[in-house]
Structure 1
Amino acid sequence: MIDFISTLSPVTQALLATLFTWGMTAIGAALVFTTKTVNQKLMDGMLGSAGGIMIAASFWSLLSPAIEMSEGSSFPTWFPAAIGFLLGGGFLWIADKIIPHLHPSSPLDHAEGLHPKRKKRSTLLVFAITLHNIPEGLAVGVAFGAVAAGSPSASLTAAVALAIGIGIQNLPEGTAVSMPLRREGMSRRKSFFYGQFSGMVEPIAAVIGVVAVSFMTPILPFALAFAAGAMIFVVVEEVIPGSQENGNGDLATICLMLGFTVMMILDVAFA
């Protein structure tokens, strides 16, 4: 599979990878056709594993290559990774504050910054997930862009592993959108549509990421670290709290450790 992918252009590689992650979001959303509720322990376990996957991917697929690329540059080795990481987290923090939305793990009874009517809640919930899918798509695009730029610290297998990891953690995200909408009384088709729609932004962000780093190679370490910072912000702000708030904290923590381990193996063994 890697041999086939290597024959494609970096834009096509990133697009196909994020079409996969979008498809995984759709699979998660499709659970709405089989049931109106999902076992809470299963959901919390999936969220926990998603957090572990994203943390591992942020370091091995993004931060570590950013640090290696900075060796021998005019900056201190740590500088691009540190600055890019803080900028990525800061960008998501600002967006989280200035744009009213529901947190994915929050009840549908309230939102940040405003109190929408019932008919507006679905839009806010979809927007919350969509907002936090942007750094995931960006991370995949930047990873493939690093390979295209010829960075010795980036590899195609690591970029593919990153896409697989993000795809795995997208499963509970699709479910986290479609199930609450179904419980509100929305039809199964509409609930599925909005659930999968939240993943549509990932291919767009990925193409932007790969094109940007392909034309602006000097910013590549900053871009990789920016994507890592944004992903870690999502994990700390949304994923981990969401997995812990329903009384399944031990299960979620164990699944986080397992998810981290699986993604570490994918990145290290196949890099």
Structure 2
Amino acid sequence: MPIKDPCAPAAVQPLRIQTLIGLLICAAGLLALCVQIWNMLQHQPPVRSALLGGSIAALATALGTLPVLLAQRPSERVQDTLFGFGAGVMLAASAFSLVIPGLDAARSAGLLGGSGWAAGGIVGMAILTGGAALLAMDHLLPHEHFIKGREGSDAGQLRRTWLFVFAIILHNLPEGLAIGVGYAGNEGLRANALAIGIAIQDVPEGFVVATALLAAGYSHRFAIALGVASGLVEPLGAVAGAAIIGHSALLLPWGLGFAAGAMLFVISHEIIPESHRKGHEAFATAGLLTGFVLMMVLDTAL
């Protein structure tokens, strides 16, 4: 009896049908998700505002990559100054736009009696939870996948580059979450100040991502494309943050604290060490102070 070839068209046909069915299911799920997001945008103004704020932050990241078309690799001193500037903006945003409003929200909601100790405990636990979540995500990232085939110092440079790029992408998600939580829990002006502050620091951030990839040997086109893509998670995070917090005001202190913890983790774990690694601590610190003051002024003046 002849053995039937498993690679024959008759055997391949069921596989193609299964693939088609799978694609149709995914398309239906994506369509349902789009419909759900559309309904939220129609009936929940904070979600609509969060999407706009997150999109502006993503656009700022994209704009930051454009100078790479005209410039070569910036000096290490300039890179470290930009790193410090971004850290300062994020640090001020964590304090003035997330932690302090979170404490006020915990008192207003009367959680655990509404005392100062209770509010501090709730927001403190949320901060620790946000930091722990980012630590877990950092450990799960496949850093080594991108350095196969490289050896010695070249591999080390490439690993640091991709580690930093992943850190930027990773922290853009809680930045978007922070924007969404800000619109769900703050008055418009305070939320706008937070979104503007994050967008401002996203401009040098996009530039740094693109130049880091350029310095690692990637093409201008790839560096710009990935720099732009790194900011696209912010609108998604903003919509998610506003939608989740919009369902229950009791979640607001936890959401604000979680976003603050995630941002503080990235500042301490990635940005500051990277800005001090090459011996330009003074310039990095000057950038941090400048960014902190800028964000503080935006938050208090607007």
Q: Output the TM-score relative to the length of structure 2.
A: 0.75
Aligned to 1:108: none
* Corresponding position: 1:195 with 2:231: no
Give the superposition deviation at 1:159: 1.2
Give the one of 67, 80, 87 matched to 1:44.
Answer: 80
Give the one of 210, 215, 232 matched to 2:264.
Answer: 232
Aligned to 1:96: 138
Q: Distance in 2 between matches of 1:247 and 1:96?
A: 25
- Counting matched residue pairs gives 246
Q: Which amino acid aligns with 1:15?
A: L
Q: Distance in 2 between matches of 1:188 and 1:98?
A: 29
Q: Distance in 2 between matches of 1:267 and 1:157?
A: 9
- Larger helix fraction of residues: 2
> Structure 1 residues 48, 189: CA separation in 2 closer, same or farther (over 3 Å shift)?
same
Structure 1, unmatched stretches of 5+, are 1-7, 102-110, 147-153
Aligned to 1:3: none
Give the one of 177, 188, 192 matched to 1:138.
Answer: 177
Give the one of 111, 124, 128 matched to 1:74.
Answer: 111
Give the superposition deviation at 1:213: 0.4
Give the superposition deviation at 1:185: 4.0
Aligned to 1:104: none
My pick for the range that moved more, 17-26 or 124-133, is 124-133
Give the superposition deviation at 1:124: 6.5
Give the one of 47, 62, 77 matched to 1:26.
Answer: 62
* Corresponding position: 1:86 with 2:128: yes
Contact 2:82 2:208 in 1 (8 A): no
Q: Distance in 2 between matches of 1:115 and 1:34?
A: 28
Higher relative contact order (CA 8 A, sep 6+): 1
Give the superposition deviation at 1:123: 7.2
Q: Which amino acid aligns with 2:126?
A: G
Aligned to 1:53: 89
Q: Secondary structure at the match of 1:35?
A: coil
Give the superposition deviation at 1:82: 0.9
1:1-271 equivalences in 2 (<5 Å) = 9-71=45-107, 73-75=110-112, 76-101=118-143, 111=144, 115-117=147-149, 126-146=165-185, 154-270=186-302
Deviations 1:58-107 (A, max 9, x none): 11111101111111513222122111111001100111112223xxxxxx
Q: Secondary structure at the match of 2:91?
A: helix
Contact 1:158 1:266 in 2 (8 A): no
Give the superposition deviation at 1:207: 0.3
Aligned to 2:33: none
Give the superposition deviation at 1:126: 4.5
Larger radius of gyration: 2
Q: Distance in 1 between matches of 2:225 and 2:218?
A: 11
> Structure 1 residues 125, 248: CA separation in 2 closer, same or farther (over 3 Å shift)?
closer
Q: Which amino acid aligns with 1:178?
A: A
Structure 2, unmatched stretches of 5+, are 1-43, 113-117
**C-alpha RMSD of the superposition:** 2.3
Give the superposition deviation at 1:32: 1.7
Q: Distance in 2 between matches of 1:248 and 1:98?
A: 30
My pick for the range that moved more, 174-183 or 31-40, is 174-183
Give the superposition deviation at 1:258: 1.9
Contact 2:146 2:162 in 1 (8 A): no
Contact 2:167 2:270 in 1 (8 A): no
Percent identity over paired residues: 39
